[in-house]
Amino acid sequence: MDVAVLAFLVAGIIIILGFLGEEFFKRTSIPDPLLLLLLGVLLGPIFQFFAQEELLAITPYFSALALIIILFDGGLNMNIAEAVKNSPRALIMASLGWTLNVLITAGLCKFLLGWRLLNGLLLGSIVGGGSSLIVIALTRKIGVNEEVETLLSLESILTDVLCTVGAFAVINILLSGELSIEAALGSVGIAFGVGILVGIGFGVLWLFSLEKLKGKPNSYMLTLAVLFLTYVVATLLGGSGAISALFLGLIIGNNRSIAKLLRSRATVSIDDNVRDFHCQISFLIRSFFFVFTGLLFTFSSFYSALFGILLTFAFLGIRFVIIRIATLKSNLQSVKTLMTIMFPRGLAAAVLASLPLTMGIPNSEAFPEISFIVILSSIIVTTIGVVSMKKQAKPSRYEYN
């Protein structure tokens, strides 16, 4: 079959499966990413319709696109008041959970696989955080309280950034041979600070521009261009493009609150077409990304698969402890089980898993395989947990007083 014809055939199947997957999720609570990942495995490793070497070349570009689109969508639909209210708790959950995951992974790699400690820290940095893409989608669809949705979304977004910054920090240490904790912590602070400032700056400027563009054709495409420029500027300044995308969406999505905060007399609002069209774009990118992740899967060692499953349950145990600490003496006690099972891996792990190998990090051949097993098994565990909870409880279970 001609390559172009095959590509269009696969694209059509992905879109249809993505749509059917969402409908399937509404009826069964089984997340559509699981189905899309398995489709990717069928098309890639099993039937070999696509060469993995060719896909690796476009991985950094497609992954970055998926990340900023999804995080912009998360900010666009997030209540800024709830975000501010929940940010301290989310920061504690994200930083403490990610740090423990990294340390446990490094220890297991050292004693079970015989790896260098730095290689274990790198793998832990890659798979140590939850997937904002899946968490944001899941929390919206299962009907949790807005505060819980915002808390879990913020936590997963923060771990995406921690995974990215942490992985690059360890990669730099491995390549340079110089260990500097101060430099690593400094890079995290700069990444967050610059990303936030750039996202807010672009967001405020574009917010008032959108008022003048309301009703004009193709206004969303200009918003998409601003999103790309925000990412580029933040990255060039040493910040996190992911964080800048989130804050750009947060400013635009909370237009009325921001206008009131700035004491602007102008009536600031955005065209509903912007939200609707971005929702469609997010659906398309998300569907393709998970199939793409499945295409990159390789299976060469039964022990790597077992180790990936072991890591998944270690992360679940750590999360159990973290959630108990985070919900102590709070009104979140009734949803702590739900919060515990919200630990699926996805976007960040898939994006970062192939980087050590492409950047020449020694003994990193097993990273993509272990990372994929962690992604797949964590999604399965989350799925089983969500389905079990929905069968055992009424929808009101997810609300609290």
pLDDT tens digits, one per residue of 81-122 = 777 777 888 888 999 999 999 999 999 999 999 998 989 999
pLDDT value for 392: 64
Q: Cα 100 to chain center, whole Å?
A: 19
Q: State yes or no: pLDDT of 29 exceeds 80.
A: no
User: Are the beta carbons of 237 and 156 closer than 8 angstroms?
Assistant: no
pLDDT value for 132: 75
- Smallest CA-to-CA distance from 138 within 294, 289, 30, 249 is with 30
Q: Is residue 304 part of a domain?
A: yes
Place of tokens 């992360």: 315
Token pair recorded at residue 277: 């069209």
- Smallest CA-to-CA distance from 295 within 16, 12, 39, 22 is with 39
Helices (H), 142-180: 146-176
Q: Is residue 105 part of a domain?
A: yes
Q: Is residue 4 part of a domain?
A: no
Q: State yes or no: pLDDT of 286 exceeds 70.
A: yes
Q: Is residue 202 part of a domain?
A: yes
pLDDT value for 105: 96
**pLDDT tens-digit profile of 154-185?**
888 888 778 877 887 787 777 766 666 666 66
Higher model confidence: residue 226 or residue 397? Answer: 226
Q: Is residue 371 part of a domain?
A: yes
pLDDT grade, residue 229 (50/70/90)? very high
pLDDT value for 400: 42
Q: State yes or no: pLDDT of 270 exceeds 70.
A: no
pLDDT value for 182: 66
pLDDT value for 223: 84
CA distance 289 to 66: 7
pLDDT grade, residue 349 (50/70/90)? confident
Question: Can you give the CATH number for the domain in which 144 is found?
Answer: 1.20.1530.20
pLDDT grade, residue 396 (50/70/90)? very low
pLDDT value for 121: 93
pLDDT value for 311: 96
Place of tokens 């990412």: 231
Token pair recorded at residue 177: 């041979």
CA-based diameter of the chain, in Å? 64
CA distance 371 to 295: 14
pLDDT value for 108: 95
Side chain identity, residue 160: D
- Smallest CA-to-CA distance from 126 within 357, 386, 301 is with 357
**pLDDT tens-digit profile of 179-228?**
666 666 676 678 778 988 999 999 988 887 877 776 666 667 888 899 99
User: Are the beta carbons of 294 and 49 closer than 8 angstroms?
Assistant: no
Q: Is residue 401 part of a domain?
A: no
CA distance 76 to 247: 9
pLDDT mean across residues, the chain: 80
Side chain identity, residue 171: I
- What counts of helices (H) and strands (E) characterise the chain? 17, 0
CA distance 27 to 163: 33
Q: State yes or no: pLDDT of 140 exceeds 90.
A: no
Q: Is residue 5 part of a domain?
A: no
- Residue 353 structural domain: 14-391
Token pair recorded at residue 311: 């890591």
Give me the number of domains the chain comprises: 1
The pTM for the full model equals 0.75
User: Are the beta carbons of 285 and 65 closer than 8 angstroms?
Assistant: yes
Q: State yes or no: pLDDT of 258 exceeds 60.
A: yes
Lowest mean pLDDT among 73-77, 217-221, 249-253: 217-221
Q: State yes or no: pLDDT of 310 exceeds 80.
A: yes
Average pLDDT on 146-152 reads 83
pLDDT value for 236: 92
Q: Is residue 324 part of a domain?
A: yes
pLDDT value for 395: 47
